[in-house]
Amino acid sequence: MNSSKFYPLNIDWSNTTDPAQASRMTDVVIKENKIPELVKSPYTLVIDSRDRNTTFYPDPNNYTVIFENPYRDVLSVELTLATIPHSGYNVNSTNNKLSISIDGITFTDVTISPGNYNAFQLVSTLKTQIDAIISPYKSYVKFDKITGKLTITVFTNVAVNVAIAESSNEITVGPNPITDAANVANFSMNFLGTSTLMPNGTTRPQYLTGTIGEMLGFNAALYSGSSSYTAPRRLNLFGEKYLVLNIPELDNLDGISDAIDGAFAIINLESDVMDSANNLSFKNTNKVIKGSDMGTHSVIKTFSPVKNSLKQFTIQFKTYNNDLYDFNGQDHMIMFQITTVKQTGDYGKFKMF
């Protein structure tokens, strides 16, 4: 009789002479099942954006890398090194509009050309572009170096323009707010877009698409009924504080914003290298991220169960507002450790590898 047809293969029959009677005997020994061991194999993957097909992916902020040999049975993917340029302009196509109105009804966009502005350049440019929209009215723009805040005031056409001037405390351009105090005129600025519904049922105001308001330090709000507005927050000339590295194949993060939720990692761009000689503007720098710097906060995506096959990475760098970050042609490098697994162990007459 072939007892394996009726009894488990892991019964030890050595202590009985009649396997057919094994179910009634007390000297049958059940072998311990072997737990398969996982053999891990680490691979280092280096992605340099210069290797992308620039015909299909002209910008290094959004491209796909297809692996010649797909990774099988992937346990985890860890970010171990990255060199990311902080090369985006502080004024760009996603934040260069100022919506302004004299009568509080009809709003017109003031457009600032994309570029890397310091405080002096920004004050001068704002003045010029605002005046072109509200003519014959005139604007006065002030940057307070002590508070870091911006003030915009509007005057009637009888006010006298004053050339841009810089002192140790401020940068100003436009009519004198003291001598021309009687010639101020009410105006409105709008930085408020569509509100977002929060999980607790409340709504959060969002900035108007394309507005420069957040950079200038103004809230996502409609400013009206006054001739002068001082931003409640400091002017931000340093650009993006961090980038969101989105790799759809490595859904890793939970977050409130659309850019962060489902992304792979956050790349910090803040640098200690600032250009104080140019009125608080940042220098373009490369941010180097090393796994050892992250410590217990390593960026790692673990698959459970293991991912059968990993064939490609889609690389996207986004801002908090879910816009693709404009590197202005500067490339980057990212290094990953991809860990795959194999199972080993005896299962009856079969061995798994």
Write the pLDDT tens digit of every residue in 284-319.
556 566 554 554 568 999 999 999 999 999 999 999
Biggest CA-to-CA distance, the chain: 118
Burial level of 352, CB count in 10 A (0-12/13-18/19+)?
Answer: exposed
Confidence class for position 272, pLDDT limits 50, 70, 90: very low
Decide if pLDDT at 251 tops 90: yes
Average pLDDT for the chain: 86
Residue 154 near residue 134 (C-beta atoms within 8 A): yes
Residue 189 near residue 104 (C-beta atoms within 8 A): no
Question: Is the peptide bond preceding residue 232 cis, with omega within 30 degrees of 0?
Answer: no
Give residue 345's pLDDT: 47
Residue 218 near residue 208 (C-beta atoms within 8 A): no
Burial level of 16, CB count in 10 A (0-12/13-18/19+)?
Answer: middle
Beta strands in 49-137 (DSSP E): 62-86, 97-101, 108-111
Please state the rounded mean pLDDT for residues 141-150: 98
The share of the chain scoring above pLDDT 90, in percent, equals 72
Give residue 276's pLDDT: 43
Residue 91 DSSP symbol: B
Q: How many residues does the chain have?
A: 353
Which bin fits 239, alpha (ψ -120 to 50), beta or left (φ > 0)? left
Beta strands in 170-284 (DSSP E): 170-173, 187-190, 196-197, 203-204, 222-226, 228-230, 242-246, 265-268, 274-275, 281-282
Residue 180 DSSP symbol: T
Residue 42 near residue 73 (C-beta atoms within 8 A): no
Residue 208 near residue 214 (C-beta atoms within 8 A): no
Decide if pLDDT at 6 tops 90: no
Please state the rounded mean pLDDT for residues 318-324: 95
Q: How far apart are CA 321 and CA 207, in angstroms?
A: 10
Question: Is the peptide bond preceding residue 248 cis, with omega within 30 degrees of 0?
Answer: no
Give residue 289's pLDDT: 62
Give residue 317's pLDDT: 98
What's the pLDDT tens digit per position in 8-60? 555 555 555 555 554 554 555 555 555 567 799 999 999 999 999 999 999 99
Domain ranges within the chain, ordered by starting residue: 3-33, 38-88+240-347, 97-230
* Dihedral sign computed on CA atoms, order 247, 250, 254, 258: positive
Q: Which of 170-179, 280-289, 306-315, 340-349 has the lowest mean pLDDT?
A: 280-289
Confidence class for position 5, pLDDT limits 50, 70, 90: very low
213 three-state secondary structure = helix
* CATH for 38-88+240-347, options being 1.20.1630, 3.30.1330, 2.60.120, 3.40.50: 2.60.120
- With the CA atoms of 47, 64, 328 and 251 taken in that order, what torsion angle do they form, in degrees rounded to the nearest 10? -80
Q: Which of 14-28, 68-82, 156-170 has the lowest mean pLDDT?
A: 14-28
Decide if pLDDT at 84 tops 50: yes
